[in-house]
């Protein structure tokens, strides 16, 4: 605490953990800023951190010398305050804040809620945004907004529904049109009324300024020669943005072209497990990238995508940022590299996809046929682990294999005895006792 600071300011940060008595060096963003260690005990270390005024806003990593893992630290553009303990727990006497501030706090005990009051002098569109779970904390934040009479006028748990088919977005981003001048109260708590000292949050309360962000789903891509390759880009509209956004690929190498694509101001719909309709917090667009058959082969190339839009006569442009999975709590986060790393290669006939680590027994793999062939594909194993070879008919996208022994293997796809594709190396661990074919047939 706190988990962030404004650029150009000095802040004292308390780190909690174990075996911290030996901490002597603390830094943010590699060499962006180094901290002075004020005190250190086995359970906590206090440091003074000066953020350079030219530091760009965003999420960085705070490294403590000797610690195994870094922790998130956000550099913001707004003024920041920190509330400690129960300082903001009195709903009848909320902490007064200006409009245009980020609050650092914790929901440190069950059924706790922090309350903050602010005033607007005329009808205003305001934003209440929380950063918590996306920073790796396990608070499930919920924000509520009350008017002077105590009537609840708005609330949000998540920006949209969450399912197992899409990364969870658990942090509220609530834009509200306040109808008149007056005093309003913002409240933050855990959606399930849980509380722990580790449940940190950053609550931003400010005038809404319509904007958008552009994210590439993935950090790398292989582009095949002689084909049109699809790169998925997501446009998220924030703070009330409601107009189209044009997405254009930039820094394309010779022999590669891509048209600009417009993202309409409508959230993309998708089907859940039971066929129900859900909506993303944003719009997915597919960028078709065409690679000529004679385009030069490339090991690595940085690509980026630029989004352009206009709202209320104001033009806005942003470059994309790539994203990666945070598998621990099935979240997706921004990578430290903005660009998409692309390579250009000859297209394989078949791509076989499976987890990098599996157990002996049955396994479903994904089969992608790029050869446009009509014949069955024979799937075998190369390496130490043993599988039962199978034949996947033309047109199928999944195949069931049975792994007999542990070890390392590469799945190989063959057509007429000729290898046309393979998987990445797969580590097989011993699972339940594998059945023999005779036992399987008997069952």
pLDDT-wise least confident of 93-97, 134-138, 209-213, 293-297:
134-138
Residue 42 has pLDDT above 60, yes or no: yes
What's the pLDDT at 333?
72
CA atoms of 387 and 409, how far apart (whole Å): 9
- Calculate the alpha carbon distances from 38 to 25, 49, 73, 131 in Å: 11, 10, 18, 27
What is the architecture, at CATH level 2, of domain 212-345?
Sandwich (2.60)
Residues 295/232, Cβ–Cβ less than 8 Å: no
What's the pLDDT at 371?
79
Among 358, 352, 348, smallest CA distance to 429 is for 358
Specify the pTM.
0.78
What is the architecture, at CATH level 2, of domain 4-77?
Sandwich (2.60)
What's the pLDDT at 441?
43
Residue 328 has pLDDT above 50, yes or no: no
Q: Could you tell me which residues come within 8 angstroms of residue 70 by beta carbon, excluding any fewer than 6 positions away?
A: 61, 62, 63, 64
CA atoms of 311 and 209, how far apart (whole Å): 10
Looking at per-residue confidence, does 162 or 267 come out higher? 267
Residues 162/170, Cβ–Cβ less than 8 Å: yes
Average pLDDT for the chain: 89
Looking at per-residue confidence, does 31 or 126 come out higher? 126
3-state secondary structure of 438: helix
3-state helix, strand, coil in the chain (%, to 5): 5, 55, 45
Looking at per-residue confidence, does 66 or 160 come out higher? 160
CA atoms of 417 and 424, how far apart (whole Å): 20
Tens digit of each residue's pLDDT (9 = 90 or more) over 379-419: 999 988 899 999 999 889 999 999 999 999 999 999 888 88
- CATH for 350-442 (3.40.50.880, 1.10.10.10, 3.90.550.10, 2.60.40.10): 2.60.40.10
CA atoms of 152 and 332, how far apart (whole Å): 31
What's the pLDDT at 432?
59
3-state secondary structure of 134: helix
Query: What's the fold here for domain 82-208?
Result: Jelly Rolls (2.60.120)
Q: Where are the domains positioned within the chain?
A: 4-77, 82-208, 212-345, 350-442
Residue 373 has pLDDT above 90, yes or no: no
Residue 329 has pLDDT above 50, yes or no: no
Q: Could you tell me which residues come within 8 angstroms of residue 410 by beta carbon, excluding any fewer than 6 positions away?
A: 381, 382, 383, 422, 423, 424, 425, 426
The pLDDT-based confidence of 439 (bands split at 50, 70, 90) is very low
Tens digit of each residue's pLDDT (9 = 90 or more) over 49-59: 999 999 988 88
Q: Do domains 4-77 and 350-442 have the same CATH topology?
A: yes
CA atoms of 139 and 193, how far apart (whole Å): 10
Best mean pLDDT range from 63-67, 146-150, 327-331: 146-150
pLDDT-wise least confident of 42-46, 253-257, 322-326, 395-399:
322-326
Best mean pLDDT range from 171-175, 296-300, 373-377: 171-175
Among 85, 102, 138, 77, smallest CA distance to 3 is for 102
CA atoms of 386 and 403, how far apart (whole Å): 6
Tens digit of each residue's pLDDT (9 = 90 or more) over 229-253: 999 999 999 999 999 999 999 999 9
- Calculate the alpha carbon distances from 90 to 93, 103, 112, 197 in Å: 5, 16, 10, 18
Neighbours of 432 (CB within 10 A): 8
Residue 28 has pLDDT above 70, yes or no: yes
């Amino acid at each position: 605490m706190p988990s962030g600071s404004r650029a150009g300011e000095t802040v004292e940060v308390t780190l909690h953990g174990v075996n911290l008595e030996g901490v002597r060096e603390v830094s943010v963003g590699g060499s962006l800023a180094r901290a002075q260690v004020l005190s250190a005990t086995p359970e906590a270390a206090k440091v003074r951190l000066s953020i350079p005024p030219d530091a760009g806003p965003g999420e960085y990593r705070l490294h403590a010398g000797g610690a195994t893992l870094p922790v998130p630290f956000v550099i913001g553009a707004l003024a920041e305050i920190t509330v400690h303990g129960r300082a903001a727990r009195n709903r009848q006497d909320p902490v007064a804040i200006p409009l245009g501030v980020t609050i650092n706090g914790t929901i440190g005990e069950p059924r706790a809620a922090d309350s903050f009051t602010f005033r607007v002098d005329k009808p205003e569109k305001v934003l209440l945004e929380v950063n918590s779970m996306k920073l790796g904390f396990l608070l499930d934040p919920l924000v509520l907004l009350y008017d002077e009479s105590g009537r609840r006028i708005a609330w949000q748990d998540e920006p949209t529904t969450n399912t197992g088919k899409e990364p969870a977005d658990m942090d509220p981003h609530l834009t509200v049109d306040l109808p008149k001048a007056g005093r309003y109260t913002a409240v933050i708590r855990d959606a399930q009324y849980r509380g722990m000292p580790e449940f940190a949050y950053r609550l931003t309360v400010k005038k809404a300024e319509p904007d958008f962000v552009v994210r590439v789903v993935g950090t790398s891509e292989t582009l095949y020669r002689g084909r049109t390759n699809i790169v998925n880009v997501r446009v998220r509209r924030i703070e009330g943005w409601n107009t189209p956004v044009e997405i254009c690929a930039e820094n394309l190498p010779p022999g590669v072209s891509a048209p600009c694509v417009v993202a309409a101001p409508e959230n993309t719909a998708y089907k859940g497990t039971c066929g129900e309709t859900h909506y993303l917090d944003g719009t997915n667009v597919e960028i078709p990238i065409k690679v000529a058959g004679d385009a030069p082969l490339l090991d690595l190339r940085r690509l980026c995508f630029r989004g352009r839009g206009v709202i209320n006569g104001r033009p806005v442009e942003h470059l994309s940022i790539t994203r990666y999975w945070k598998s621990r709590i099935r979240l997706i986060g921004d990578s430290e590299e903005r660009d998409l790393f692309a390579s250009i290669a000859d297209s394989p006939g078949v791509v076989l996809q499976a987890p990098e680590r599996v157990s002996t027994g049955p396994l479903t793999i994904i089969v992608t046929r790029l050869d446009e062939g009509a014949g069955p594909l024979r799937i075998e194993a190369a390496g130490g682990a043993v599988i039962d070879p199978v034949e996947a008919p033309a047109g199928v996208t999944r195949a069931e294999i049975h792994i007999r022994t542990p070890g390392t293997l590469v799945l190989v796809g063959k057509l007429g005895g000729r290898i046309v594709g393979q998987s990445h190396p797969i580590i097989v661990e011993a699972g339940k006792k594998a059945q023999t074919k005779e036992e399987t047939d008997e069952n």
